[in-house]
Structure 1
Amino acid sequence: MNIETPGWFRTALERRPRQYAMEVDGCRISYRCWGEPERPGIILVHGGAAHAGWWDHIAPLIDSEYRVVAIDMSGHGDSGRRDEYSLQSWAAEIVGVAEHAQLAGSPIVIGHSMGGWASIMAAARYPERISGIVILDAPVADFTPEERAARERTAFGPLRVYPTVTEALARFRTVPDQPNMLPYVVNHVARSSMGAVEGGWTWKFDPGIFRGRRPSPQILKEVRCRVALFRAEHGLITPDIGIEMYELLGRVAPVIEIPLAGHHLMLDQPLLLVTGIRTLLADWQHSVPQTRPKVGTNSA
């Protein structure tokens, strides 16, 4: 099937990243980089059952002043597998990659869905090593849709092997499903989501990633760095959840809505997402952070 692609998308994918790997707690962690070493860093963290390639068309549009890193968390993509997974181990991987990738200073971490929770955990556990986090449609009040689907066994069961790439592509689905995703983006993401195995092709994630337990939303009170929340208009952070997160973060985190977007913002509204990220980063470069109240106190 021929899928027409716009020029901006082709140009972005032509900016091929450099591939790297390192170990964190005995597990091989793969990551890719755009931009020059020794620049301020941005680390992009994918959602559950996704991988670094979900950012391939986003990273080249935000690397003009940054070294942009997209990580494959353990259990995902080209990274190794663990016997058990946790937000704590993924947080350690984020800061481990940040150190390995030759970034100037402490990075800003941008995390989507389950990757947003991993970013929150990294900021809470390693406050001196993260300068800011951007949470993309990662609600505090419920499981992510990927976690719920795995627990209810409606998706993410034992991995199937498909005889051909075409058959695998036909089975690619996002969780939650959403209309109006851009076919050229979905095609790229789907193709980079599969790997060759004996007998054909299968998806590059470990179903065991969903067995871990999520921390209390109260962990948001432990985050001391700058934070911004991105809501997808048709996503999972409802206005009520956004208010709850805003309160837990001390009423100093901006809540930014991406219009028309579903939960997977990079698949249906990538340019609006890039515009929001660029605008936020420009503000953070030149503004003074508001002081957050201490943990356990009320803000005025």
Structure 2
Amino acid sequence: MSSGPEGIVRDQPTEMPSEGGPLLEYRGAVPPAPAWFQDAVATPYESDSVAVNGAQVRYQRWGQRGKPGLLLVHGNGAHAHWWDFIAPYFAEHYNVAALTFSGMGESDWRETYDMATFSAEQMAVAEDAGLFDAEVKPIIVAHSFGGFVTLVTGAEHGDRFTGMVIVDSPVNPPERPHRGPPRSGRPNRVYDDLASALGRFRLAPPQLCENYYAMDYIARWSLKKQDDGWTWKFDPSIWTHFEPNDAPGDMLKAAKCRIAIIRGEESDLMPNDVGDYMRKLLGHQVPFISIPHARHHVMLDQPLAFVSALRTLLAEWDHSEPHRSI
């Protein structure tokens, strides 16, 4: 589905069409993966959690405390493990943390959800993981729905960060129609076995992704076993108890730190007119990077190209000053 006025993009669905998803053909087997991917996901990391407004928020951490902080933020319905094959490429030079928002992945569920609380979770994980311990301020890299949470953080706490990298989070122009997420809150389906559950996994909004090994990896981390079978970890009632923000454009302009935008060049959510509108809001003074042959799920479609672009951007920020007043 497309993003709504509150910037909701569902990155993992609760239900699949009857024909199943692209992992169905593997019947529960792990798809072949390149050596770089296997090495990346085998990289050790620390797992921890921090309490935020009564819920335990899980996160992972790579690298050495005291180095510059880098916070990686997932999209709607996703979790921190979407970054397991990206984070190791930054662990040599950064203290890297990836959080899982409440109601998603292995973090606790809440009675109600709102953007201010999600933003508080970002700040709490950054504090608990030691991202503010270095002499330089940390950086946030956020995909999809996580980018909209990061805009809230940037408007409220941006002076504590060097910058924010917004990855395929579309701030739509006023004339572009908006649709929010479904608010039905149907319970997550329970599958008899892991293979059946994996076979129903797909990306949303729907898109092709040739890297089945990456999809399989995040799908396995998206599921949990219970007495009667396997089901998704995320809270299906999040959006029935959600208080949205309706002014992402204002928050984009209000950020108190540097901003860069990365999009998939073939993303249905970030076509040229949306990108042009966002650049206009920012005075055409920020980096705007398109990853070739990538759709909305940039780090799944072109993971190494994404790593290369992000490394280049962060290196440039390390040796330059912002080109606009912030």
Q: 1:185 aligns with which of 171, 196, 214?
A: 214
Report matched runs for 1:1-300 at 5 Å.
1-103=29-131, 104=134, 105-141=136-172, 148=179, 150-151=181-182, 157-210=186-239, 211-216=242-247, 217-235=249-267, 236-292=269-325
Structure 1 regions of 5+ residues with no counterpart?
294-300
Cα offset, 1:123, TM superposition: 0.9
Cα offset, 1:2, TM superposition: 4.9
Q: Which residue of 1 aligns with 2:11?
A: none
Give the letter for the 2:230 counterpart.
W
- Do the aligned residues in 2 keep the contact of 1:85 with 1:208 (CA within 8 Å)? no
CA deviation string 1:169-214 (max 9, x = no partner):
0111110121133011111010111112231111111123334323
Structure 2 regions of 5+ residues with no counterpart?
1-28
Q: Distance in 2 between matches of 1:152 and 1:114?
A: 16
SS in 1 for 2:151: helix
Note closer, same or farther for the CA distance 1:157–1:174 as it changes in structure 2 (3 Å cut). Answer: farther
Cα offset, 1:42, TM superposition: 0.6
Q: Distance in 1 between matches of 2:187 and 2:66?
A: 42
Give the letter for the 1:228 counterpart.
A
Give the letter for the 1:248 counterpart.
L
Q: Distance in 2 between matches of 1:152 and 1:20?
A: 31
Note closer, same or farther for the CA distance 1:2–1:15 as it changes in structure 2 (3 Å cut). Answer: closer
Q: Distance in 2 between matches of 1:157 and 1:44?
A: 29
Cα offset, 1:152, TM superposition: 7.6
Cα offset, 1:249, TM superposition: 2.2
Greater RCO between the two (CA within 8 Å, min separation 6)? 2
- Return the TM-score normalized by structure 2: 0.84
CA deviation string 1:105-164 (max 9, x = no partner):
43101110000101111111112322210000000118xxxx9574286xx742111121
Runs of 4+ in 1 over 6 A off after TM superposition: none
Q: Distance in 2 between matches of 1:244 and 1:266?
A: 23
Q: Distance in 1 between matches of 2:59 and 2:200?
A: 26
- Return the TM-score normalized by structure 1: 0.91
Cα offset, 1:250, TM superposition: 3.2
Q: Distance in 1 between matches of 2:75 and 2:209?
A: 19
SS in 1 for 2:137: strand
Q: Distance in 2 between matches of 1:149 and 1:219?
A: 19
SS in 2 for 1:121: helix
Q: Distance in 1 between matches of 2:258 and 2:195?
A: 44
SS in 2 for 1:16: coil
Q: Distance in 2 between matches of 1:191 and 1:133?
A: 29
SS in 2 for 1:262: coil
Give the letter for the 2:264 counterpart.
A
